[in-house]
Structure 1
Amino acid sequence: MEPLIEIKNLRVDFALRSGIVRAVRNVSLTIHKGERLGIVGESGAGKSVLGFSIINLISKPGRITDGQIIFKGEDIAKFPYEKMRTIRGNRIAMIFQDPMMTLNPVLTIGTQMKETIHAHMKVSDKEAEAICLDKLRKVYIPSPEKRLTQYPHEFSGGMRQRIVIAISLLTSPSLIIADEPTTALDVTIQAEIMDLLLELCKTENMGLILITHDLAVVSEVTQRIAVLYAGKVVEVGPTRQIIDNPQHPYTQGLIKALPQMAGGKKRLNQIPGMMPSLLDMPAGCPFQTRCPERIERCASDVPVLFESPRGAQVACFVREGGR
């Protein structure tokens, strides 16, 4: 089956006065139609930059310096701005962390939704309104006719995020990129939003890239997980395989750091040290300065992903047997 989107050796750099920051380093990932992929890692690992780069929303001085993003047979990484507009928000939609950064506070929900439709589809205003109402119902917004006339400040945080999801569905995209979509919401609302995304992926047969630092969330929603560290994929594979039997020492550290892993009144586990600066990456494996299992080779060579006998791809010399 042909992939919906295939990321090949993607590299994203930021040219700063202090030097080149390589935020995404030779990342390769594949997502099929209807598949749900989670991208996890610490803050600064490059998760959001990877998501933005897929729809070419990286602000200067950042830019894609190498690699391909093949979407339905075309390399959209090389699309000019105007051509990319036919993809962004249309075939590929994005849901951001804060809905108030997406919604215009001085326009009604109806106006904003119709503007999105008219930007990508040639339909009448009446047809556009019918599409708006249909999508609001799909995300379980009560009294959708009334909601179209209201402003963003009249909604709760959870309702605003539902509206943003409805907007992302307006053009029936093939892929949704959700960047920490529940960060600003309380736990109960978080669960409702994630259940909604899961349901929509199944009913609409959409692909989903869920970007988050929360392994508990991806374990409930996604089918596969890619673990990012310092801009590089260190482990990727089936969700249950990675949650139940992580191979890379970094993935093991993330799972051990979950509150439920501590139990009782024990102190939370944590990974010692900090992720290295992307301006001053150490030689060898980027995780070696924090790794409890490092071997001599880790200080000089950079490991690449290999097929683990346990079902995942792992970038670790120790798991390769020190070869």
Structure 2
Amino acid sequence: MSLLSVQGLTVKFAMRNNTVTALNDISFDIGQGERVGIVGESGAGKSITGFSILNLLSRPGYIAGGSIMFDGQDLTKLSDKQFRTIRGNRIAMIFQDPMVTLNPVLTIGQQMVEQLQAHRRVSRKDAEIIAVAKLREVYIPAPEERLKQYPHELSGGMRQRIVIAIALLLDPQLIIADEPTTALDVTIQADIMELLLELCESNNVSLILITHDLGVVSQMTQRMLVMYAGRIIETGGTREIINDPQHPYTQGLINALPQQTLPGEKLRQIPGNMPALSAIPPGCPFHPRCGYAVPTCRTVRPELRRHGGSDVACIEVERLHGTTPHKVDYA
């Protein structure tokens, strides 16, 4: 049985003149202790997926269909009061910027103690002991002193370690990490990701890693979902997809990596841009940017089907492998 099972999830935003679809019938499962990456360009629907699971969608966004089963319980059916027993307790989230997560007017100790006492019947003294233990777990030096400090007194890397410690405070079953190293220096990013991987493995915690960095996904996850315009267009084992991508978009993302070009060469960019939610084309949403597009791609929405080592949503996937793309008009 999966720890998390998302089936047919559809998220819409009610705008002034029309309603747009941000997630279009997406489905995936995550087992206990499994690590899954969600990748794609900005606007693909990665963060909306994480927010939907935790019921953090802001108006005018709403879940229009589908189910989110967590440990046998449909999260879409819970009241706000019921959800508070899940969010931050059994499912934790790590956001991009730790300064958004941490309250600037409260000490680290106050925030960690409040988090514990909101979900557990513990004294302040016992809560502080647990907080110190979690800070040690993420290799924070002099943790007793850190409890007395405010977020602005700490470095960016230290703040993100504390955010991870807070996420682990209540021993969650699932962590959703939304671009957890975006705001950090490159030299610190690797340390944070290595720490997160170590903690998930040692505590058997499931992880959803939302990122645009395929290099991080290849090192951190066992399976990955590639999203485009609110749909999952390829899914499978991380190693299989990285080594043999089936969808033209996935191929484009991998080919655009700097290490795929020689020094002095231009990066191999995917032509065009992600469509706006109000202007998603019919058929395959990627067809205006795809070098393999045929007229059918403009009218037929491809469904996920097995090809190679992954499930891929592309009607031309057989022709794509081993052939040369024909020219299309990207205008």
Shorter-normalised TM-score: what interval? Answer: over 0.9
- Displaced runs of 4 or more, over 4 A: none
Alignment correspondent of 1:283 = 282
Alignment correspondent of 2:149 = 150
Alignment correspondent of 1:81 = 80
Alignment correspondent of 1:271 = 270
| Inter-partner Cα distance in structure 2 for 1:176 and 1:16 | 31
Alignment correspondent of 2:302 = 303
Alignment correspondent of 1:235 = 234
Q: Secondary structure at the match of 1:50?
A: helix
Alignment correspondent of 2:314 = 316
Q: What CA deviation, in whole Å up to 9, does each residue of 1:150-186 have, x standing for no partner? A: 1101100000000000000010000000000000111
Q: Please list, as runs of the form range in 1=range in 2, the aligned pairs for 1:192-207 lying within 5 A after superposition.
A: 192-207=191-206
Q: Secondary structure at the match of 2:279?
A: coil
| Inter-partner Cα distance in structure 2 for 1:18 and 1:222 | 40
Residue 18 of structure 1, CA deviation: 3.3
| Inter-partner Cα distance in structure 1 for 2:318 and 2:27 | 20
TM-score relative to the length of structure 1 = 0.98
Amino acid corresponding to residue 282 of structure 1 in structure 2: P
Residue 320 of structure 1, CA deviation: 5.3
Alignment correspondent of 1:261 = 260
* Counterpart check, 1:168 vs 2:167: yes
Q: Secondary structure at the match of 1:289?
A: helix
Amino acid corresponding to residue 45 of structure 1 in structure 2: A
Q: What CA deviation, in whole Å up to 9, does each residue of 1:93-124 have, x standing for no partner? A: 00000000010111100000000000111111
Q: Unaligned stretches of 5+ in structure 2?
A: 321-331
Alignment correspondent of 1:189 = 188
| Inter-partner Cα distance in structure 2 for 1:229 and 1:42 | 7
Q: What CA deviation, in whole Å up to 9, does each residue of 1:210-267 have, x standing for no partner? A: 0001111111111111000000000001111111110000000000000110121110
Alignment correspondent of 2:58 = 59
Q: Secondary structure at the match of 1:83?
A: helix
Q: What CA deviation, in whole Å up to 9, does each residue of 1:113-150 have, x standing for no partner? A: 00000011111112111110111011000000111011
| Inter-partner Cα distance in structure 2 for 1:46 and 1:287 | 14
RMSD (CA atoms): 1.0
Q: What CA deviation, in whole Å up to 9, does each residue of 1:60-106 have, x standing for no partner? A: 00011100000000101121111011000000000000000010111
Q: 2:116 touches 2:169 (CA, 8 Å); kept in 1?
A: yes
- Distance change >3 Å, CA 66–CA 270, structure 1 → 2: same
Aligned length: 320
| Inter-partner Cα distance in structure 1 for 2:158 and 2:28 | 32
Q: 2:261 touches 2:267 (CA, 8 Å); kept in 1?
A: yes
Amino acid corresponding to residue 298 of structure 2 in structure 1: A
Amino acid corresponding to residue 273 of structure 1 in structure 2: G
Q: Unaligned stretches of 5+ in structure 1?
A: none
Q: What CA deviation, in whole Å up to 9, does each residue of 1:177-200 have, x standing for no partner? A: 000000011111000000001001
Residue 301 of structure 1, CA deviation: 0.7
Amino acid corresponding to residue 12 of structure 1 in structure 2: V
Q: Secondary structure at the match of 1:316?
A: coil
| Inter-partner Cα distance in structure 2 for 1:292 and 1:321 | 12
| Inter-partner Cα distance in structure 2 for 1:22 and 1:131 | 43
Alignment correspondent of 2:224 = 225
Q: 2:244 touches 2:309 (CA, 8 Å); kept in 1?
A: no
Alignment correspondent of 2:327 = none
